[in-house]
Structure 1
Amino acid sequence: MMKKFLLFAAALLGAAGVFAAPESQIVYPEYAVLASGGDIIVRDYEGTPVLKIGKLDFAWSSPVAVPVRVEQIAKDTFKIVYRIDRDDSGKVALEGTLRALPDGHIRLDWRLDAPEPVKTGGIMLELLPLKGTEKSAKVYKSGLWTRHEHGGIPFEVRDGYFRSFRNENTALWLLLGGNANYSNGWSEHPGFTKKEDGKFTASLEFLVCAPELEDYEAVALFHKRPLGLRLSTEKPFNLWESGSPELKVQVSNPYNRPKQGVAFEIIGRDFDGKTVLKESKQLTLKPFETKELTFRLPEAERTIYFVEAKAVVPGEKEIFSRTNLAILPPHEYQHRKESKFALSAYFMIPSEKDVYALMQRMGVRVLRHGDNRVTGQYGILALDHASIGPDDSPAQAAKRIGEMVRRAAERRNPEIEFCNEWNMSAKSVEEKRRRARRYVELLRELKKVRDEHDPELKIIGMGMAGADTAFLKLMAENGAVPLMDGGVAMHPGRGNMTPDYEGDGWTYLGAIRRWRKAMDELGIKTMHLSEVYAATCPNDSWKDSYRHAAENVILTYAIGLAEGAESIQFYQLHDSVWHDLGGVNHKDSEYHYGLLMRDGTVKPSLLAYAAVAEALDGAKFVKYLDFGGKVRGIGFSTPRGPLAFVYDRTDGFFLTERTKEFAGTEPWVDTWKSRRKAVFDAAGDTVTVIDPIGRAKTVRAVNGKVTLELSGAPLMVYGIRF
């Protein structure tokens, strides 16, 4: 039976003698915090030292704050007195407090005076594991599922980033106060911030609990929530090739008292909104008990399920969690080497093997960056992408150019995209001119090093933010065109409109055509779309809903191929950002650009990527289609016969109304208002119709005609004449 911390024997007082002459002590049956001189030690219930809380090293500046004395100012509170070493100003001052509570919470607070030019951003707190205590290498990034105040899509808010320190008796879970990436074996980043009075403050908080508690249970206990709830499967990405997906739900009581009358509900829906799973039951959880419930979703050839589980303890707020499960059958692409399907960014989560295998199944041929010694095993061609800042010094630039050429040679990258979106942050015409001149100077340096060390490497011009043709022309005026033998890249950002909208501003087709026109005028032949988007930030009227993202991925690739792009690189595979992998931030849309959710599960847009990659395998653009009225399309020839992407624009191109209280719609809700029947000439007795997540159905023709019901969502249709 697990030893839960509230059941621990009170042995600390007897063990205190191991800690020589403690001047201050806060002792509870489950743990103790003892201080001697400036040393602060957390001990477990047996008296074993677990963690030392020590000095603060300013890291980016000279000072070091060394604790020299601890004063007990209350039964549960220490005041920490620091000596400031290596303080050239003589004005740095730090005071701290530690408060330890019977419920296992230990909180540290600091108040700092630090005059200019002392840098406080890199201050690290010494947290030294003792006597076999193990510090977790991985940060647990907790998200709390939350209802939208205006009835929109539920979403995760940041619930805290945690790191654990464990021995066989006890775990200390630390709520990180600063940058989780600033970490080493002996210290963590508390994250000092400047206040209105000019002083800096920071805080950290621990929870002492049983070492057996899993991350989600410890966080529930930390936040004093009634239960812990976790949804999981045994499949990477919750993705099956066939069969009936199985979902495991764990409902945990992390307390030493029972939870009775717990109302548990689970509901699952498919892409059409059909309820495929619905159960409810009353649970009783013994102290420290975890109930594991298993549920199965229906078999299907290809689909996605959206599941929510909820548990309510009487008198408490609901705890709920969501996840997606999907079925995507195997598929062999026959024309992978000619494919333009690409990814701009990705993370190796859950593993390199799983990620590359998923890319292979999706139909990814090209990566913006990667190592061909690895990606080649999966039939994927890795380019390279490397950047230099517009204000980097000549020495920095020269060093970086040498590194990138060597790296491209090592990784066998055939092309390198050089720099990224310099135009985006240039706020004046003069600054754009300066940056264009500097960029071409660097292009010349890159070409010189390339010619010497890797002459086969082609150079792709900077990925431009939007169709900034003025910046492109400034580059050309300074001599860029002959230096970009791999063409030029562009990022056609798109707002709340469909990809086929050709207007000005942040539009997809409109941007591509403006860009292509400028390229033709300048004699540039090759166009890479090195970032294309279908971002899904919940309840953001400028971004796609989960459902519209799937529809828009279909059109993004059909249009990109029709417009002659050399690569169409979706940004990106995973939600979150490179400096916060798996992170949570509902206020920052940059965290929501992926084809995978934060928990690594499939969005409808990933199924759409695979569906359109399958449809366009070996395809050649024929023409844009106009079937009369508002029925539009894009026609391709394929080895499987003529393929038409067809849709109806009766409802227009704009997907949302931009209001302050905008509420997004659930992915199973089809928001197109109009349904129009359209009659097409059939090439045979039947046509095959494929929806945005790749589900195919056969429609029989009558007297050489076939009738299809259309909306603004594109359908991929084999077997109609155009």
Structure 2
Amino acid sequence: MKKKVNTARTSGGLSRRAFLIGGVGGIGVLGAGAVIGGGALLRSRGSGDESDGLPRAVDPGPLQLQVGGDGHPGRVTVLTTAGRHLIHFDGYRLTTSTGTRGATVDDPGNGRPSSGPVRIDFEVTDPDYTASVTYRADGGRVTADWEFTAPGDGLDSAGRPLLRGGRVYRTLVDARATSELHVPASRWVRDSRGGVPVQERVAELNFVDWDVPGSEGGDGTSRLYGCITTATSTSRSTTTLHAAPSRDDDGVWRSRLEFRADTTVGAARSLVDNGRTLLAGAVLGSTGLPDPTVDITSAATYNVVASSGPRTFTIGLAGRSARSQHSTSIEVTARDFDGTEIHRSRHEVAIPQDADYVDTDVTIDLPGPRSWCSIEATSADSFARTAAAVWPDHDFGPSDQSIIGLGGFASTPSPGSAQSPGLESRGAERSLWRRLGIRHLRNPWLTAEESSELGISTAAQPGGSPGQFDDPSGDDSFREWAEKALDRGEDAGAAHYELLNEWSLTGVDTVELATEYTDQWLIPFRAEMDRRGTDAKLLAMPLAGWDAEFLDTIRDRDGWHLLDGIAEHAGRGNYVPDYDGGKWNFLGQVRTARAYLDGHATDSDSPTELWLTETYACTRPNAWWYDDERTAADSVLLTLMLSKAEGVAGVHWFQLADGLWHDKYGVNPTESEYHYGLLHVDRSPKPSLPAFAFAAEMLDGASFLGWIESPHPDLRGLRFSRGGSAFWVLWSRQDGYLNNATHGTDSYFPHPEPWIPPEGASLKVTVPGATLCQDVLGRDIDLDGGSVTVSGSPVVVTGDLDLELPGPEEVSGDMSVALTDVAVRRGDRPGTLIVEGVNGTGGRLGIRVMGQQVRGLVDETSLVVAEGRFTETVDLGDALPDDPESSSDSAVTAVGARGGRPQVRIMAQRRAKVSASAAESQVYRAEYYRAV
């Protein structure tokens, strides 16, 4: 936990890397000193103060520039006052094939150290471009202003800047090898079009540090801290830094870099190390940030605790204007998942002239035993958000009774990984895995010993590209590549290998790709596994959306029997997870994959396991294709429940936190890849996180019994057993299957705040024996005489529920499609089904019937019924087994339970626009499941 040092100058504390999550052997909270209301503990921090858990920052004195050296035309070296070389700046790579070479230099120092300005005009390998740069040193700061011209308007045929990939060549001199850290300077903003506020980047902060031997504290307690700041930088290497220019009104493309190495950088680095990237940018004075700038943090690494009660949050304030004023006002508000304001306070703070920032501690009483809260701090034009969640510990069982897993990047990857480490400690992240019930990992982030100790099954997912080994003169042969992959898997104790990833996205002919995959990768990789005698399983390359042709080719080329299972990435757009129409839906793809496996289980060597190695509920803000944060919590719980219902062997959630593997704390409100996490980029919980934990708890050791058999066309539900008792998951589809169905043709769609429950229809459902009803976060919901209100957000009902009871008898509420009194029975002839019901729609109605799927296909039998009561005979053939008890644990029906009587689905659908301006029609369904 962070310690408190109550002095006028120092804010103490260990870095987030050293903190273990609250709830593991106790709850992570700060010590005494914080108060509710207008008063609070204040701590200011100056550049000369001790860093939080970091060695003391050394002042390098005024920086100097020196031109030339080592045969690099236009090289400029940055030196300290004592003459220590810190960094070389060389030329610029304008495009992948165009860069600088010779240089004309205007150097006032004539090769000796000076403050500049140094002007360099470069020759460029393509004469249609020009490049020049001017360096200036001012105290502990060096600026580099680049200017470019490019052919035409500087755009390619697709309208993209030709210099979008531009990179500065830079070389660090004797810096600490593991010290580089890349985070954005960012701010919170609200869009005039409405919707939720978003976090956007204004600059990139590339931190690096140097040991300072021989000085006071030369035993490692002192360092020189540096930071390179750019407006745009999506990547870096040991010798280059992405620094794409932007075009000004005069047609010149410009890019500015700033290198800074004064003691303020040490203060900013300390903030970053504690996860406070917002405030770090403000301390460095990053252009584009509000002045003053506020941030919010807490002691718990992920703002997750195991019980309710007072928790201390630290509000930081930085900025020049705040130092010049007598005091600055900060307002703090907190709301729970129902929108109830649980805290509001105002604080007057002042930043001393010699301080970089000031901290204010505020205590907020978090509700429990399960909750999610949003917390916001506002000061003038600046605001910042975080969130907190409460749920109790659960003692999860072994991995073989769980489908819950994790994919995507790990914050702290295993040694040898290409990923950069995160700010969180390895222990903190693994403790969160335990809290979430993670029992499977897609990647070898653990050693075999750690895997055994944590009770987590590890997998390995070797990567490769089509044609990778076509050139025999390449660096590695396939055999060498496979040996490395298997070595890594064995070191991690991998239970299975998932061979390659998503070739079906490349756009190349599927059969051609699958042929190469089978002949050149799958067959020899399995041979290498057999040669080693590994008992790990082998999964086929995961498909990016369903692609039967790819698997057909594997079968045709004798690769099918080499597999133990297949993997699927069931991508989803603005459809609820239980929709199975169209392409980008979850349930439809999973059902199809499950049916394919069952339909091609020709012998004992056929693969049987289905793994979903990337599932998600993406929350890209204010975009209609993606979930808002509240809807995402519903999607998380339903996705996991449906996966269990469809016989999935394991689910790898993609991913734990927002950001990219190479930009772990990056923000981009318009790029979906930054929003797949269960956690926000500040590592605070989305509502998805407690929903995930609750679903994992309910599914721990659970078995699927079947779909709810309801008398109402809009009630949906799943029945499970666990520990000898039953529980039901219930939800309504009165409002349709499409999220954000009122959207227009613009991709922008204002999302509601996560604490605002959506308006919509609901059902009253009586559940015999129910004693407890819980929402998606696991919070208790009142039961009214055994009845519960069910809307589009799923609820979980437990109690003394009869394991044999197929569903409720009493359900009341409006109907989206008036199809009622649906019943089924077997016909006189094998494979025939008699369907009865009442069509109250006022006209003829199309009905579709789905039974057990055969020969690897999911299809439906359609019929049209007249208005009023009807009785129809449907020939389902092999989709309706002759023996009612023929279904077993290994023979899975596409729409029914494993074991016992199979189920069929009877469904009618209509489409209608929610509003005249809507670009898409809402989908409404009457949907019934019935045992036969």
Using the size of structure 1 for normalisation, the TM-score is 0.84
Separation in structure 1 between the aligned mates of residue 507 and residue 171 of structure 2, nearest angstrom: 43
Matched, 1:275 2:311: no
How far apart are residue 30 of structure 1 and its match? Answer: 8.2
Task: Spell out the pairing of 1:395-434 with structure 2 (5 A cutoff).
Answer: 395=472, 396-427=477-508, 431-434=509-512
Greater shift, 614-623 or 514-523, is seen at 514-523
Q: 2:871 corresponds to which residue?
A: none
How far apart are residue 179 of structure 1 and its match? Answer: 5.0
Q: Which of 598, 609, 614 pairs up with 2:692?
A: 609
How far apart are residue 697 of structure 1 and its match? Answer: 4.8
Matched, 1:295 2:362: yes
Q: 2:91 corresponds to which residue?
A: 56
Are the aligned partners of 2:322 and 2:351 in contact in 1 as well (CA < 8 Å)? no
Gap change, CA 1:393 and 1:327, over 3 Å in 2: same
| Structure 1 residues 435-474: Cα deviation after superposition (integer angstroms, max 9, x where no partner) | 1111111211111111111342321011111122232223
Q: Which of 222, 234, 237 pairs up with 2:302?
A: 237
Are the aligned partners of 1:108 and 1:203 in contact in 2 as well (CA < 8 Å)? yes
Gap change, CA 1:697 and 1:105, over 3 Å in 2: same
| Structure 1 residues 303-339: Cα deviation after superposition (integer angstroms, max 9, x where no partner) | 1111111111xxxxx1111111111211112454311
Matched, 1:392 2:480: no
Specify the code of the residue in structure 2 equivalent to 1:636: F
Separation in structure 1 between the aligned mates of residue 406 and residue 699 of structure 2, nearest angstrom: 16
Q: 1:462 corresponds to which residue?
A: 541
The residue matched to 1:214 in structure 2 has which SS?
A: helix
Q: 1:631 corresponds to which residue?
A: 715
Separation in structure 1 between the aligned mates of residue 402 and residue 700 of structure 2, nearest angstrom: 7
The residue matched to 1:392 in structure 2 has which SS?
A: coil
Q: 1:579 corresponds to which residue?
A: 662
Task: Spell out the pairing of 1:209-608 with structure 2 (5 A cutoff).
Answer: 210-211=263-264, 213-215=267-269, 216-217=278-279, 219-220=281-282, 221-223=285-287, 225-242=290-307, 243-254=309-320, 258-260=324-326, 262-289=328-355, 290-299=357-366, 300-312=368-380, 318-334=381-397, 336-347=399-410, 348=412, 349=422, 350-370=424-444, 371=446, 372-394=448-470, 395=472, 396-427=477-508, 431-441=509-519, 442-484=521-563, 486-523=564-601, 524-608=607-691
Gaps of 5+ in 2: 1-8, 10-44, 49-59, 69-73, 110-114, 152-162, 213-221, 270-277, 413-421, 602-606, 806-932
Separation in structure 1 between the aligned mates of residue 295 and residue 179 of structure 2, nearest angstrom: 20
How many correspondences in the alignment?
672
Matched, 1:714 2:813: no
Greater shift, 449-458 or 209-218, is seen at 209-218
Are the aligned partners of 1:255 and 1:287 in contact in 2 as well (CA < 8 Å)? no
Separation in structure 2 between the aligned mates of residue 673 and residue 621 of structure 1, nearest angstrom: 29
Gap change, CA 1:217 and 1:272, over 3 Å in 2: closer
Specify the code of the residue in structure 2 equivalent to 1:377: E
Separation in structure 2 between the aligned mates of residue 569 and residue 641 of structure 1, nearest angstrom: 27
How far apart are residue 57 of structure 1 and its match? Answer: 7.9
The residue matched to 2:435 in structure 1 has which SS?
A: helix
Are the aligned partners of 1:173 and 1:218 in contact in 2 as well (CA < 8 Å)? no
How far apart are residue 72 of structure 1 and its match? Answer: 5.6
How far apart are residue 140 of structure 1 and its match? Answer: 3.0
Specify the code of the residue in structure 1 equivalent to 2:169: L
Separation in structure 1 between the aligned mates of residue 334 and residue 344 of structure 2, nearest angstrom: 6
Are the aligned partners of 1:245 and 1:296 in contact in 2 as well (CA < 8 Å)? yes
Gap change, CA 1:700 and 1:640, over 3 Å in 2: farther
Gap change, CA 1:264 and 1:477, over 3 Å in 2: same
Matched, 1:126 2:170: yes
Are the aligned partners of 1:692 and 1:715 in contact in 2 as well (CA < 8 Å)? yes
| Structure 1 residues 466-506: Cα deviation after superposition (integer angstroms, max 9, x where no partner) | 1222322233222231121x211111111112111121211
Matched, 1:666 2:756: no
| Structure 1 residues 239-265: Cα deviation after superposition (integer angstroms, max 9, x where no partner) | 111232221111123479512453321
Are the aligned partners of 1:209 and 1:218 in contact in 2 as well (CA < 8 Å)? no
The residue matched to 1:226 in structure 2 has which SS?
A: coil
Separation in structure 1 between the aligned mates of residue 164 and residue 653 of structure 2, nearest angstrom: 38
Separation in structure 2 between the aligned mates of residue 533 and residue 206 of structure 1, nearest angstrom: 39
How far apart are residue 55 of structure 1 and its match? Answer: 2.6
Using the size of structure 2 for normalisation, the TM-score is 0.66
Matched, 1:679 2:716: no
Separation in structure 1 between the aligned mates of residue 302 and residue 613 of structure 2, nearest angstrom: 25
Q: Which of 193, 204, 217 pairs up with 2:257?
A: 204
Q: 1:8 corresponds to which residue?
A: none
Greater shift, 225-234 or 354-363, is seen at 225-234
Are the aligned partners of 1:461 and 1:487 in contact in 2 as well (CA < 8 Å)? yes
The residue matched to 1:646 in structure 2 has which SS?
A: strand
Separation in structure 1 between the aligned mates of residue 566 and residue 488 of structure 2, nearest angstrom: 21
Gap change, CA 1:165 and 1:487, over 3 Å in 2: closer
Greater shift, 120-129 or 631-640, is seen at 120-129
Q: 1:137 corresponds to which residue?
A: 180
Are the aligned partners of 2:398 and 2:439 in contact in 1 as well (CA < 8 Å)? no
| Structure 1 residues 123-158: Cα deviation after superposition (integer angstroms, max 9, x where no partner) | 55335558x999952223222111123211111112
Greater shift, 644-653 or 223-232, is seen at 223-232
Separation in structure 1 between the aligned mates of residue 704 and residue 754 of structure 2, nearest angstrom: 31
Q: Once the two structures are aligned, what percentage of the paired residues are identical?
A: 24
Specify the code of the residue in structure 2 equivalent to 1:303: S
Separation in structure 2 between the aligned mates of residue 376 and residue 198 of structure 1, nearest angstrom: 61
Specify the code of the residue in structure 2 equivalent to 1:222: S
Gap change, CA 1:108 and 1:454, over 3 Å in 2: farther
The residue matched to 2:120 in structure 1 has which SS?
A: strand
Greater shift, 212-221 or 636-645, is seen at 212-221
Separation in structure 2 between the aligned mates of residue 102 and residue 407 of structure 1, nearest angstrom: 49
Specify the code of the residue in structure 2 equivalent to 1:616: L
How far apart are residue 373 of structure 1 and its match? Answer: 2.6
Specify the code of the residue in structure 1 equivalent to 2:488: R
Greater shift, 190-199 or 403-412, is seen at 190-199
How far apart are residue 708 of structure 1 and its match? Answer: 0.6
Gap change, CA 1:218 and 1:107, over 3 Å in 2: farther
The residue matched to 1:666 in structure 2 has which SS?
A: coil
The residue matched to 1:373 in structure 2 has which SS?
A: helix
Gap change, CA 1:500 and 1:310, over 3 Å in 2: same
How far apart are residue 609 of structure 1 and its match? Answer: 1.1
| Structure 1 residues 378-421: Cα deviation after superposition (integer angstroms, max 9, x where no partner) | 11100111122123124554432232122222322121011111
Gap change, CA 1:105 and 1:279, over 3 Å in 2: farther
Are the aligned partners of 1:499 and 1:507 in contact in 2 as well (CA < 8 Å)? yes
How far apart are residue 374 of structure 1 and its match? Answer: 1.8
Q: 1:655 corresponds to which residue?
A: 739
Greater shift, 198-207 or 616-625, is seen at 198-207
How far apart are residue 192 of structure 1 and its match? Answer: 5.6
